[in-house]
Chain A
C-alpha cells in the first residue's frame, strides 16, 4: 500500500494506490435541513439512468430517514461495528480507516450485502428516535428526532470501489475526479459492491456488470448540474468543484462552504475515502449522533449555520442553492444581491438576499372568489 494524505482525517494514511489528485474534483454540498424526502431526486435519477432491465432495484440516488432508514439494509451500522469506533483527537482521526484495517486476503475492510438487503428501499421512513410523550415539549437539539439523508456516490478521492477491483475496471477521471465503472472492462466480480462502504455500487444481473452514479458527467462536462440536483424541489443541493484546503478559494462556492466556513462536512470521514459530497448537518439532531456520521466539526458547523441570518455572505451563498441549472464555479455578493458566476466570469444567475413579500387581498375582485395566502 502507498502512503497518501487525507485532509479530512488530518493525517497520512495507507491506500492501495499512490496519491494522484485530479485536475478538478467534482464535489457537492447537501443541506440536510432543507430535505423533505420527497424523492424527486431519486426519480430524476431513476428516469434518466436506471430504467433498464437489471436496474430495477438500483437507486444511484436515494433518500433515507435517519436514524433507522438505510439502503441497502444497515449499510452504515454493519461497517461501523466492524470498524470498532475509532477516536478523533481534535481534527485528527486516530483510529484505523477501512484501508488500514483490511482483513487478511482483503483490500479493504468490508461486508457484502445479500439480495434481500435491497428489498426495503424506504425502510424506517419517518421513524422517530424516541417517542414524544404527553406533556413533553421540544427543545434544541430535539430529544426525539429524525432527519432525511440524501445519498449519491461520493466520488471519493480514495475510492474503496476502485481499490477493491482486482482488474482496474474502475477509474477516477483526471479531468474532474468523477469515479466510473468501465462498462467495457468490468467482469461482474462484485468486489466493488462489497468494498464501497457507502454501498453505492450496484450489480446488474442482466448485463452482468456493476454500475454506479456517474455524476451525470455528460451534463457536468457542459457546465450543467446533475439531474438529482436540478430537480430538487427543496433546493438542498449545489454541485461544483472542491480544492484541497491549502488551495481553497473563498470565491468558489464549495470551497467557501467546506473550507472557509466549514459548515459542510464529509460523511463518515473516518472510513478514509475522502468523500466529496459534503453535508450541512441537521441542526435539531443530538450532536453525539452527528459527530459519528460527520466527524468532529459538527458543533461548529451547526453554530455557523444557525447564525446565517446574521451572516450576509453565508446567507447569500445559501440562497444560490437551486437557483440555476448551471455549475457555479464562482460566486459574489454585492450588497443585497448574490450572483453565481462561471469560469469565464459570465454571470449565470442573480438572486436577491431577501425575497420581496407580496400580500394578496383576501377577496379577488376579478374572479369574485376568496383567496388564501400561504406564508
Chain B
C-alpha cells in the first residue's frame, strides 16, 4: 500500500512539472469587447490575459497587518465602450461571510486614480488633492444578495431572542410606526450608513485621499458578483472606465484582499502597489 502511495505521489509530481506555466502579463491588460461580462464564470474571461499580482502587507500605517496572508491575486480585465470589468481570483481555504463580534469577512477591492496622471497618487489610498476611486466587494454582502436572510439567526443560528419592543402586538406588523421604532435601535441604519442587513449590491463605490479618509462615492455606479471556487474566491467588479483608460493608453490600478479568517479589515489587509492598466483590442 505504501508503495502505491509513493508511486501516485511521484506521478502527480511529474504531471505538475509537465503542466504549462500559467501565462501572466506584466501589466493588467483590459481586452476590448462589445460588452463586459458580469459573471465570474463567463467564457469571455478566457479571451483576457491573466496578470498575477503578488500582494504586500499593509505595513505603512497603523494598524498594520503584521503576518502575510493572501500571497497573490489573479486579475483579468475586459473593457466595453463605457465600462471595464475586473475579475479577481485568489486562494482562500475558508469561506468567511458571516459578520459578527470578532468575526470578519472576506473582501477585495480595485483602486484607480481619480485622474490619470504620470505622477500617480500615493498607492496607499491616495493623498490629499490626488484622490483615488475604490470599488469594494464583501462576501457577506454577496451572501445577502444571493438570498441569505437578515435575521440574527441567519448570523447566529442558535440565537434565541425573547422580545424586541418594536415587535410588540400593539404595533401593526410592517407598519410605518413599527419601522420607525426599529430604526431607533439601529443607529447606523438611521444615519443612512448601510453596512449590514439587506443589500441590493455586494459592492460599494468609495473615494479616498489618503489613509483614513475613505468615503462613500455619491451614487453607486459599480456592479459585482463573487462566487466560491474550488480554491477560493472569484469576484467580478464592473465599474465605469477610469479616467485615462483608452485604446493603447494606460492608467494604473491597485488591488487589495482581506482574509476574514485572519481577522483582516480596514487597514489590516494585503495590498498591491500601482500596476499599469492598459487597454488593447486583443490580448
Hey, which bits of chain A sit against chain B, CB under 8 A? Answer: 47, 49-57, 104-107, 112-115, 117-118, 164, 166-168, 183-191, 193, 202-209, 211
Sample of 12 further A-B pairs with CB below 8 A, known A54-B196, A189-B265 = A49-B185, A51-B164, A51-B185, A52-B164, A107-B63, A166-B266, A166-B267, A183-B193, A186-B193, A203-B101, A207-B189, A208-B195
Find out whether the CB atom of B101 lies under 8 angstroms from the CB atom of A57.
yes
Q: List 23 A-B contacts (CB under 8 A).
A: A51-B165, A52-B166, A53-B151, A53-B186, A54-B196, A105-B65, A106-B64, A115-B102, A166-B266, A167-B266, A168-B212, A183-B193, A188-B195, A188-B196, A190-B104, A190-B265, A202-B101, A205-B101, A207-B186, A207-B187, A207-B188, A208-B197, A209-B188
Q: Which of B66-84 contact A (CB under 8 A)?
A: 66
Find out whether the CB atom of B102 lies under 8 angstroms from the CB atom of A112.
yes
Find out whether the CB atom of B193 lies under 8 angstroms from the CB atom of A206.
no
Distance (Å) between the CB of B124 and the closest chain A CB?
12
Which of A56, A166, A205 lies in contact with B99, CB distance below 8 A? A205
Distance (Å) between the CB of A161 and the closest chain B CB?
13
Find out whether the CB atom of A190 lies under 8 angstroms from the CB atom of B186.
no
Find out whether the CB atom of B165 lies under 8 angstroms from the CB atom of A183.
no
Secondary structure type dominating chain A contacts: loop
Once bound together, how far apart are the Cα atoms of A189 and B260, in whole Å? 11
Q: Is B61 an interface residue when CB atoms closer than 8 A count as contact?
A: yes
Which of B61, B182, B187 lies in contact with A183, CB distance below 8 A? B187
Hey, which bits of chain B sit against chain A, CB under 8 A? Answer: 59, 61-66, 99-104, 150-152, 155-156, 159, 161, 164-166, 182, 184-197, 211-214, 263, 265-268
Distance (Å) between the CB of A47 and the closest chain B CB?
8
Once bound together, how far apart are the Cα atoms of A337 and B165, in whole Å? 43
Distance (Å) between the CB of A203 and the closest chain B CB?
5
Known contacts being A56-B159, A186-B188, A187-B214, is A206 close to B101, with CB within 8 Å?
A: no
Residues of B close to A184: CB separation below 8 A: 188, 191-193
Residues of A close to B102: CB separation below 8 A: 112-115, 117, 190, 193, 203
Distance (Å) between the CB of A107 and the closest chain B CB?
5
Most buried by B among A50, A104, A112, A209: A209
Residues of B close to A204: CB separation below 8 A: 186, 188, 196
Known contacts being A56-B161, A207-B188, A209-B188, is A166 close to B193, with CB within 8 Å?
A: no
Once bound together, how far apart are the Cα atoms of A202 and B41, in whole Å? 39
Closest Cβ neighbor of A195 among chain B residues: B63
Find out whether the CB atom of B196 lies under 8 angstroms from the CB atom of A105.
no
Residues of B close to A190: CB separation below 8 A: 101-102, 104, 265
Once bound together, how far apart are the Cα atoms of A113 and B186, in whole Å? 23
Once bound together, how far apart are the Cα atoms of A166 and B212, in whole Å? 6
* Total residue contacts A-B, CB cutoff 8 A: 137
Which of A52, A56, A114, A186 lies in contact with B186, CB distance below 8 A? A52
Find out whether the CB atom of A107 lies under 8 angstroms from the CB atom of B165.
no
Most buried by B among A167, A186, A204, A207: A207
Closest Cβ neighbor of B61 among chain A residues: A166
Find out whether the CB atom of B197 lies under 8 angstroms from the CB atom of A207.
yes
Across the A-B interface, give the 9 residue pairs with the lowest CB-CB distance, nearest first.
A52-B185, A208-B195, A208-B196, A105-B64, A189-B266, A184-B191, A207-B188, A209-B188, A183-B187
Distance (Å) between the CB of B210 and the closest chain A CB?
11
Which of A53, A104, A106 lies in contact with B152, CB distance below 8 A? A53
Closest Cβ neighbor of B161 among chain A residues: A56
Once bound together, how far apart are the Cα atoms of A166 and B65, in whole Å? 13
Once bound together, how far apart are the Cα atoms of A189 and B61, in whole Å? 15
Distance (Å) between the CB of B103 and the closest chain A CB?
7
Find out whether the CB atom of B62 lies under 8 angstroms from the CB atom of A166.
yes
Residues of A close to B59: CB separation below 8 A: 105
Closest Cβ neighbor of B162 among chain A residues: A56
Which of B100, B164, B182 lies in contact with A115, CB distance below 8 A? B100
Residues of A close to B212: CB separation below 8 A: 166-168
Closest Cβ neighbor of A165 among chain B residues: B212
Closest Cβ neighbor of A189 among chain B residues: B266
Closest Cβ neighbor of A54 among chain B residues: B152
